[in-house]
């Protein structure tokens, strides 16, 4: 007890040597990590934003000159009096990719939340073989995204794909579908793979939330004869809500920056081109380094706004009840 | 009674459905990888042929063995560096009260959710400036952006839960913070270090965007990029057999590791998620 008091006193009286020494070493311990993060995240972020206001090109980055908002919006008035608008903010391809990203993210996160909730409820029940199910759902999570994109590309192959074969045998389709090439089904294909790959993560996060709910609440509801569906909406859902809100924002941020799956599965398909694909394409393939930087800066801005709005509106508590 | 049976059957059908959908694509990749020649283009639901041709081709021709070595080296070094930096940092963040601690924790969390594309052009400039473009160093360096915040975050939540008494005893004995970390906390932290290390390893092993951007030749690529760019004799001929063999080679170790450490991994994932 006496020891505890000593430490407590030491922590509280700012004048004490021990306390000062601890703070000093704390900063000393933090410095290497903070320096690395500043170099690898902070500085490049500032430089990327800076490039978006210049005319930098891939081959000669150092010759970048300040051009103001020209990459975002430039207004030129011709001699004839016609006004020409140019730049990212009036680029239909950019807005198409924003729309693609938002559509993809909303549909995938909603589906993953619903399916993830179902899987979590199954895993929360006591039954024989629960361990096998939990191990099985970790498999899609453990498979690298690129590998799962290739695996599904093969299964979705129009000529030799097993998915077309299954659907034909079941009589659900009358002819083979070119899932990843067809503009109507490309987004569906991407969604399918993404939901398959990331629902396990969602299910595990929700399961962790479910397991924090004390069992006697369910006992009480059972004794009172409350219908299970009502128990779910009145008891389970409100209690698991904090964990669910954090899981949703994590997945949402992940979905909004999606790059690799789409780059591999539906390369060059206008229906699935997302903000990240658009930005990288301009940066490195089209030699429009400054324009690509503007796109990546906009993406950063959009994500920040969505996150802040979500945290405020959803009253998200990242400490998880701590 | 009948209703009870129906419910039970429906539940187990759901369970079987979940397991089947989770595992089937990987199962199908494995049976495809053992097919060769024209067998590849017959659709079979059960393994029919067994040929190692795809594996020998992937492992003996081309740069795939080199890509595997690159991935292994890069992911291991990334894990080692992030753990060393994160252990000391998370000690400071979890055990010492100082002004600005919450702000720091929040910043670290924000960086871990960062869209990597937002720093891509700045990082590209930096990589070229350091002269490490197209070397493993470029990837080791850039991977810190996602492994470091997340290892710090998980280790901080773990260290915060260790009892204060063990630390107090050490302080009374006159131990310095460095001695406390290395002699008192480190021995207790092995489970957490294994979990975080494994999660960081998987993240580095799977990374694609930086690897695609900061390497430019077959010999410096990592496996995800190698698999994405694997092409056949002609542009129109996709070597599905080789792609599946390569995919199985890079995935089997991960799946085995994940299944061995599944409890630890789930607790690590949820520590990074639910608690923060």
CA-CA distance, A209 to B269, in Å (whole number)? 12
Range with the poorest average pLDDT among A219-223, B31-35, B126-130? A219-223
Chain A residues closer than 8 Å to B255 by CB: 139, 142-143
A27 contact partners, CB below 8 Å, separation of at least 6: B92, B98
Of B124, B247, B257, the CB nearest to A150: B247
Question: Residue A244 is encoded by which pair of tokens?
Answer: 């669910």
- The stretch A174-186 carries a mean pLDDT of 89
Residue B272 has pLDDT above 70, yes or no: no
Prediction ipTM score: 0.90
Residue intervals of chain A classified under CATH 1.10.3720.10 are: 91-314
Inter-chain touch A37–B29, beta carbons under 8 Å: no
> Which of the 8 DSSP states describes residue A60?
B
pLDDT class of A7 with cuts at 50, 70, 90: very low
Q: Determine the pLDDT at residue A5.
A: 43
- The stretch B36-46 carries a mean pLDDT of 82
CA-CA distance, A182 to B234, in Å (whole number)? 23
CA distance A84 to chain B (A): 28
Residue A12 has pLDDT above 60, yes or no: no
Averaged pLDDT score across all residues of chain A = 87
Residue A153 has pLDDT above 50, yes or no: yes
CA distance A155 to chain B (A): 8
Q: Determine the pLDDT at residue B214.
A: 95
Q: Determine the pLDDT at residue A226.
A: 86
Residue-wise pLDDT for A96-127, tens only, equals 999 999 999 999 999 999 999 999 999 998 88
Q: Determine the pLDDT at residue A320.
A: 44
pLDDT class of A1 with cuts at 50, 70, 90: very low
Task: Give A 228-247 residues with CB within 8 A of chain B.
Answer: 243, 246-247
CA-CA distance, B164 to A111, in Å (whole number)? 43
Pairs across A and B, CB distance < 8 A: 291
Q: Determine the pLDDT at residue B235.
A: 61
Kindly write down the DSSP assignment for every residue of A116-183, as one continuous string.
HHHHHHHHHS--TTHHHHHHHHHHHHHS-HHHHHHHHHHHT-TTT-HHHHHHHHHTS-SS---TTTST
Helices B2-33 and A186-211: crossing angle in degrees, nearest 10, is: 130
Inter-chain touch B209–A7, beta carbons under 8 Å: no
Inter-chain touch B262–A135, beta carbons under 8 Å: yes
Residue A10 has pLDDT above 70, yes or no: no
Chain A residue with Cα closest to B142: A40
* Residue, of B249 and B234, whose pLDDT is higher: B249
User: What architecture is domain A91-314?
Assistant: Orthogonal Bundle (1.10)
Residue-wise pLDDT for A21-56, tens only, equals 888 888 888 999 999 999 999 999 999 999 999 998
Q: Determine the pLDDT at residue B137.
A: 96
Inter-chain touch A320–B227, beta carbons under 8 Å: no
Burial class (CB within 10 angstroms; exposed 0-12, middle 13-18, buried 19+) of A285 = exposed
Q: Determine the pLDDT at residue A162.
A: 92
Residue A3 has pLDDT above 80, yes or no: no
Residue A271 has pLDDT above 50, yes or no: yes
Q: Determine the pLDDT at residue B190.
A: 85
Inter-chain touch A319–B202, beta carbons under 8 Å: no
CA distance A305 to chain B (A): 13
Chain B residues closer than 8 Å to A30 by CB: 88-89, 92-93, 104
CA contacts within 13 A on the Cβ side of B228:
25
CATH of domain B61-273: 1.10.3720.10
Q: Determine the pLDDT at residue B135.
A: 94
A261 inside 8 A of chain B by CB: no
Kindly write down the DSSP assignment for every residue of B194-218, as one continuous string.
HHHHHHHHHHHHH--HHHHHH--ST
Length of chain A: 322
Q: Determine the pLDDT at residue B234.
A: 59
- The stretch A292-316 carries a mean pLDDT of 89
Chain A residues closer than 8 Å to B108 by CB: 37
Chain B residue with Cα closest to A56: B121
- The stretch A237-248 carries a mean pLDDT of 88
- The stretch B224-232 carries a mean pLDDT of 86
Residue A223 has pLDDT above 90, yes or no: no
Inter-chain touch B244–A150, beta carbons under 8 Å: yes
A110 inside 8 A of chain B by CB: no
Chain B residue with Cα closest to A42: B119
Catalogue the long-range contacts made by A302-306 (C-beta closer than 8 Å, 24 or more residues apart): A302/A98, A302/A256, A302/A275, A303/A253, A303/A256, A303/A257, A303/B115, A303/B118, A306/A252, A306/A256
CA distance A83 to chain B (A): 32
Inter-chain touch A141–B14, beta carbons under 8 Å: no
Question: Residue A132 is encoded by which pair of tokens?
Answer: 């096998």
3-state secondary structure of B36: coil
Residue A6 has pLDDT above 50, yes or no: no
Averaged pLDDT score across all residues of chain B = 88
Classify strands A74-77 and A83-86 as parallel, antiparallel or unpaired.
Answer: antiparallel
CA distance A257 to chain B (A): 6
Give how far the C-alpha of residue B74 lies from the chain's centroid of Cα atoms, to the nearest Å. 12
Q: Determine the pLDDT at residue A126.
A: 87
Chain A residues closer than 8 Å to B41 by CB: 159-160
pLDDT class of B213 with cuts at 50, 70, 90: very high
A17 inside 8 A of chain B by CB: no
Chain B residue with Cα closest to A62: B125
CA-CA distance, B181 to B178, in Å (whole number)? 5
Q: Which of A239-248, B80-89, B95-104, B224-233 has the highest mean pLDDT?
A: B80-89
Chain B residues closer than 8 Å to A170 by CB: none
* Residue, of A202 and A17, whose pLDDT is higher: A202
- The stretch A251-259 carries a mean pLDDT of 92
Inter-chain touch A41–B206, beta carbons under 8 Å: no
CA distance B116 to chain A (A): 8
A25 inside 8 A of chain B by CB: yes
Q: Determine the pLDDT at residue B276.
A: 36
The 3-state secondary structure of A67-106 reads: CHHHHCCEEEECCCCCEEEECHHHCHHHHHHHHHHHHHHH
Of B43, B121, B275, the CB nearest to A293: B121
Sequence spans of domains, chain B: 2-51, 61-273
């Amino acid at each position: 007890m006496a020891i505890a008091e000593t430490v407590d006193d030491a922590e509280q009286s700012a004048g004490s040597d021990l306390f000062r020494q601890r703070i000093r070493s704390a900063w000393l311990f933090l410095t290497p990590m903070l320096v690395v993060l500043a170099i690898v995240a902070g500085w490049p972020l500032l430089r990327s934003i800076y490039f978006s206001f210049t005319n930098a090109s891939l081959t000669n980055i150092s010759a970048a000159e300040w051009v103001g908002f020209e990459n975002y919006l430039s207004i030129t008035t011709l001699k004839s009096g016609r006004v020409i608008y140019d730049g990212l903010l009036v680029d239909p391809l950019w807005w198409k990719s924003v729309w693609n990203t938002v559509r993809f993210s909303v549909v995938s996160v909603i589906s993953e939340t619903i399916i993830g909730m179902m899987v979590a409820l199954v895993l929360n029940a006591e039954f024989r073989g629960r361990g096998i199910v939990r191990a099985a759902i970790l498999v899609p999570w453990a498979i690298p995204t690129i590998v799962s994109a290739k695996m599904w590309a093969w299964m979705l192959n129009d000529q030799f794909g097993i998915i077309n074969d299954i659907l034909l045998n079941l009589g659900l389709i009358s002819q083979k579908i070119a899932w990843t090439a067809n503009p109507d089904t490309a987004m569906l294909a991407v969604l399918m793979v993404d939901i398959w790959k990331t629902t396990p993560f969602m299910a595990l996060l929700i399961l962790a939330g479910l397991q924090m709910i004390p069992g006697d609440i369910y006992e009480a509801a059972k004794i009172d004869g409350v219908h299970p569906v009502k128990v779910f909406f009145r008891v389970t859902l409100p209690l698991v809500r904090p964990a669910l809100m954090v899981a949703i924002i994590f997945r949402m941020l992940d979905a909004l920056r999606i790059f690799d799956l789409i780059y591999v599965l539906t390369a060059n398909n206008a229906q699935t081109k997302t903000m990240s694909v658009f930005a990288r394409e301009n940066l490195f393939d089209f030699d429009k380094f400054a324009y690509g930087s503007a796109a990546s800066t906009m993406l950063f801005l959009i994500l920040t706004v969505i996150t802040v709005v979500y945290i405020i509106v959803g009253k998200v508590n990242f400490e998880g009840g701590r | 009674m009948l209703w009870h049976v129906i419910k039970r059957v429906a539940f187990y059908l759901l369970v079987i459905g979940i397991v089947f959908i989770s595992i089937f694509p990987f199962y199908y990749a494995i049976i495809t990888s053992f097919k060769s020649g024209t067998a590849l283009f017959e659709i079979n639901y059960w393994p029919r042929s067994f040929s190692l041709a795809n594996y020998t081709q992937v492992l003996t021709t081309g740069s795939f063995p080199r890509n595997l070595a690159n991935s292994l080296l890069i992911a291991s070094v990334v894990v080692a560096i992030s753990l060393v930096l994160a252990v000391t940092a998370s000690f400071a963040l979890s055990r010492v009260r100082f002004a600005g601690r919450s702000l720091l924790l929040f910043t670290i969390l924000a960086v871990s959710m960062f869209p990597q594309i937002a720093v891509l052009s700045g990082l590209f400039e930096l990589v070229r400036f350091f002269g490490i473009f197209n070397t493993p160093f470029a990837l080791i360096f850039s991977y810190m952006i996602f492994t470091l915040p997340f290892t710090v975050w998980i280790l901080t939540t773990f260290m915060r839960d260790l009892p204060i008494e063990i630390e107090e005893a050490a302080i009374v004995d006159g131990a310095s913070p460095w001695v406390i970390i290395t002699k008192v906390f480190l021995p207790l932290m092995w489970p957490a270090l294994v979990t975080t290390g494994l999660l960081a390893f998987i993240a580095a092993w799977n990374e694609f965007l930086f690897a695609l951007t900061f390497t430019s030749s077959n010999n410096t690529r990592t496996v995800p990029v190698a698999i994405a760019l694997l092409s056949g004799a002609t542009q129109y001929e996709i070597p599905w057999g080789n792609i599946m063999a390569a995919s199985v080679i890079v995935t089997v170790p991960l799946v085995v590791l994940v299944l061995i450490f599944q409890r630890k991994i789930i607790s690590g994932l949820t520590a990074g998620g639910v608690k923060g």
